[in-house]
Chains A and B, each alone.
Chain A
Amino acid sequence: MLTDVAYQEVMNRKNEIMQRSLKIDYDQFKQGQIGFDYEKMMTQLGYSLEDVARIQKENQVGNTPLLELKNLTQLVRRISPKGKGATILMKDEAANPSGSFKDRRATLAVHEAKKKGFSGVIAATSGNYGAAVASQAAKQGLKCIVLQETYDSQGLGQPEILEKGRKCEALGAEVIQLTVGPELFYMALLLLDQTQYFNASLYSPYGIAGIETLGYEIGQQVKEQFGKEPAAVCVTHAGGGNVTGTARGLKKFGNNQTEIIGVSVDLSGLHMASDRDFNRKSFTTGHTGFSFPFSIDPDRSDVPRNAARPLRYLDRFVTVTQGEVFYVTELLAKLEGLERGPAGNTSLAAALVLAQQYDEDEIIVVQESEYTGAGKHPIAQLNFAKKQGVKIMSGNQKENIPGSVIAIPEHIEQLDVKNADLDRIRTSYLRNVLKDVDSQRLTDLDKAFLAQEVNKELDYIEDYLKSVNNC
């Protein structure tokens, strides 16, 4: 029975509830004053890549096709400088049981829950991960509760999220639909405590290790089909797990030259906890409202130490507009005959621009696709946006204002990407992690940890500390 338990009372018991619902002692990885041994955590708690692949295969997850987008590649070559226009491939993750790469994360989380003797799993997510956990719970015989941020205070639900809720119920999960706010976390803790279920967090080592097979398969399939390493892999970037897991998998295959490019939908100016802004956005995942805060402060997640550490792996980070993603979703359907969900095409939007910068004999991989259907479709999402007073128009990307105007390109040459300043994000990360720390007393271990966290040499950290201490 759901009882009223005060917000603060639950939040005060956060660590205890986490510990019980994951059965992970994160203290064992502590290192220095601020750091922790990330690789030890991933090795000790995660599974070997072979184990992950085996468990996923048993549950009919992964081994998705890698599709060559021949028409889109030709189209890009028509507008590229001579000799440019890389071959564009797409990993068709929509072919997974619940329709997205999230099945890879869920398989391992549910497997681990079962192994540890839990009778059910809980996931707090408005994304495809809910359906993935519901699907795996159904297959592996556990109970499942999915918590979603679904409605504004008027009871108006985002069509994309309503569809994901329907899918979770279709897969036998209980769906708790909530209004806008970070109290989703409070509710998740409360239910974890009441049910004693497993916390199928997106950010546990299982949630990340599950994605490594995706990167590994890309490396392997590109090698088999083209005999080379991809020049770049475009990864939709939200909470950082997709970037982290994919990059780790590519490296495990031996692809050390491949550029890892994070791509987010630009929702700048919209407040993620705002009741009013909630229904003025057309993307509920894969956007800057997650990717910026999670890059700067990964441990803001629902576990003590987030296994998603995107700054360790990102070589480049770009943003695209909502209109651009709708445009490429339409183009993928009309030119390649592939109708896929818009959010999953975020990295495709960037790839159509970035491919123009790579040589013709190079490969650029779009790392995912997702299922589509009522609510989770450009027509549904644009009609909903119109009803919320958002202006929909054809035209130049400069007209876009997140929450007010969605400009949909009329022509492929109107596509563009905006570079996010990774150095600035690294600095923000360091400022955040060091905010309550006396930087004069940092040990060598701490500095080495920070260098790994931002994927730089030790000098970079020393220079940063000098610049801060001189201020």
Chain B
Amino acid sequence: MEQVNKGTWVEIHRILLQPEERSDRLPEDSKSVPYEMRARGFLLEEALLNDEVTIKTLSGRVISGRLIQIEPCYEHSYGPPVYELLNIGDEEKRMLETK
């Protein structure tokens, strides 16, 4: 497996609370899964994917967790056209044109 260099921007994952440690005020579906965290920062030591690592975050904190992504991307986007939106406006413009 590829070695990840110190200083690489990475994402870590950590389980904060196991299901049995979670709040009592939860619906069943949430109560049955752990409470998890993800955070991004600069890797502080050479590591492999899935290793327990420490990172330095943008606020300067050093935190630890399992290395899950190397150079994580922002992948949220727009996606394909939505016809239910494309059709909006024509009729309203016609209404404005008629006196």
Q: Which residues of A contact B (CB under 8 A)?
A: 1-2, 4, 6-7, 71, 74-75, 78, 120, 143-145, 150-151, 153, 157, 159, 162-163, 166, 169, 172-183, 186-187, 195, 271, 273-276, 326-327, 330-331, 334-335, 374-375, 377-380, 382-384, 392-394, 408, 410-412
Q: A2-B65, A175-B39, A379-B82 are in contact. List 8 more A-B contacts (CB 8 A).
A: A6-B21, A157-B76, A177-B39, A178-B37, A182-B26, A183-B23, A275-B30, A374-B77
Q: Is the interface of A mostly helix, strand, loop or mixed?
A: mixed
Contact A273 B25 (CB under 8 A): yes
- Using CB atoms, name the residue of chain B closest to A330: B88
Q: A145-B59, A179-B35 are in contact. Are A273 and B30 (CB under 8 A)?
A: yes
A164 shortest CB reach to chain B, Å: 10
Q: A153-B33, A275-B29, A393-B84 are in contact. Are A71 and B60 (CB under 8 A)?
A: no
Contact B62 A1 (CB under 8 A): yes
Scan residues 9-54 of chain B and give those whose CB is less than 8 A from a CB of chain A: 14, 16-17, 21-23, 25-27, 29-30, 33-41, 54
- Using CB atoms, name the residue of chain B closest to A172: B58
How does the 8 Å CB contact mask read for B69-90 relative to A, with 1 for contact and 0 for none?
Answer: 0000011111111101101110
B74 shortest CB reach to chain A, Å: 5
Contact A375 B77 (CB under 8 A): yes
Tell me, in angstroms, the Cα distance from A280 to B79 when the chains sit together. Answer: 17
Tell me, in angstroms, the Cα distance from A102 to B35 when the chains sit together. Answer: 28
- Using CB atoms, name the residue of chain B closest to A122: B59
A225 shortest CB reach to chain B, Å: 23
Tell me, in angstroms, the Cα distance from A326 to B88 when the chains sit together. Answer: 10
Tell me, in angstroms, the Cα distance from A9 to B23 when the chains sit together. Answer: 12
Q: A176-B37, A179-B36, A181-B30 are in contact. Are A75 and B58 (CB under 8 A)?
A: no
Q: Which residues of B contact A (CB under 8 A)?
A: 14, 16-17, 21-23, 25-27, 29-30, 33-41, 54, 57-65, 74-82, 84-85, 87-89, 91-93, 95-96
Contact A7 B22 (CB under 8 A): yes
Q: Which of B38, B74, B79 contacts A151 (CB 8 A)?
A: B38
Q: A181-B22, A334-B93 are in contact. Are A408 and B84 (CB under 8 A)?
A: yes
Q: Given the complex, which residues of A lie within 8 Å of B25, measured CB to CB?
A: 182, 273
Contact B58 A7 (CB under 8 A): no
Tell me, in angstroms, the Cα distance from A408 to B85 when the chains sit together. Answer: 8
Contact A174 B58 (CB under 8 A): yes
B21 shortest CB reach to chain A, Å: 5
Contact B23 A375 (CB under 8 A): no
Contact B87 A374 (CB under 8 A): no
Q: Which of B36, B58, B76, B95 contacts A153 (CB 8 A)?
A: B36
Contact B85 A330 (CB under 8 A): yes
Q: Which of B26, B36, B41 contacts A174 (CB 8 A)?
A: B41
